[in-house]
């Protein structure tokens, strides 16, 4: 692709998506800004979908000739919809308070590998349902030194992100 043929709109759009990606790397995964991190992931997916649709509209030729692009855009649309549904559910319902028993914490290597570890709190609620809730590294380190058997916390139910630790840690 010749750099001289890239239009200003394309440069601005791709640059904006890159800025959003960079912001997502530095956004906290838990706490009061947890939904912003999830929203950034959704914005990136929907941004790629919109860009693809805008590019498809400019193509010349029949639908039959460009069918693979339409299939890719449909798959990307469904993927984006599926990955942002939990964000919408959590924004509508808000954070939920829950009491967990048999508390455990763990860390796992990120699927991206380069960005770092993810930290999780495991526990069982009063109905016997197991929960795995993403927590921050500082929460993990704090809980490692201050173990409890039961805790009350506030979290986003659909994205399993910690909003706030309970009073026992305040």
pLDDT at 91 over 80: yes
pLDDT band at 61 (very low <50, low <70, confident <90, very high): confident
Query: What pLDDT does residue 65 have?
Result: 78
H or E element in which residue 111 lies: none
**Cβ neighbours for 73, distance < 8 A, ≥ 6 positions apart:** 49, 52, 53, 56
Query: What pLDDT does residue 111 have?
Result: 61
Which stretch of 38-42, 103-107, 128-132 has the lowest confidence by average pLDDT? 103-107
pLDDT at 2 over 80: no
pLDDT at 77 over 50: yes
Query: What pLDDT does residue 137 have?
Result: 84
The Cα 87–Cα 80 span in angstroms is: 11
pLDDT band at 63 (very low <50, low <70, confident <90, very high): confident
The Cα 20–Cα 72 span in angstroms is: 23
List alpha helices for 27-136, DSSP H.
34-58, 67-93
The Cα 9–Cα 25 span in angstroms is: 25
Global pTM? 0.77
pLDDT at 86 over 90: yes
Angle between helical axes of 34-58 and 67-93 (0-180°, round to 10): 160
């Amino acid at each position: 692709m010749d750099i001289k043929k890239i239009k200003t709109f394309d440069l601005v759009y791709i640059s904006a998506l890159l800025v959003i990606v960079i912001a997502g790397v530095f956004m906290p995964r838990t706490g009061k800004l947890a939904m912003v991190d999830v929203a950034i992931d959704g914005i990136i997916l929907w941004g790629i979908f919109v860009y693809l649709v805008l590019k498809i509209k400019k193509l010349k030729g029949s639908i039959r000739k460009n069918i693979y692009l339409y299939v890719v855009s449909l798959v990307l649309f469904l993927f984006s919809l599926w990955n942002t549904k939990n964000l919408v559910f959590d924004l509508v319902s808000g954070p939920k308070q829950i009491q967990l028993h048999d508390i455990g914490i763990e860390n796992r290597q990120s699927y991206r590998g380069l960005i770092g570890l993810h930290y999780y709190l495991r526990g069982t609620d009063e109905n016997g349902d197991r929960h795995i809730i993403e927590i921050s590294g500082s929460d993990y380190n704090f809980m490692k030194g201050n173990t409890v058997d039961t805790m009350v916390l506030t979290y986003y139910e659909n994205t399993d992100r910690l909003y706030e630790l309970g009073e026992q840690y305040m």
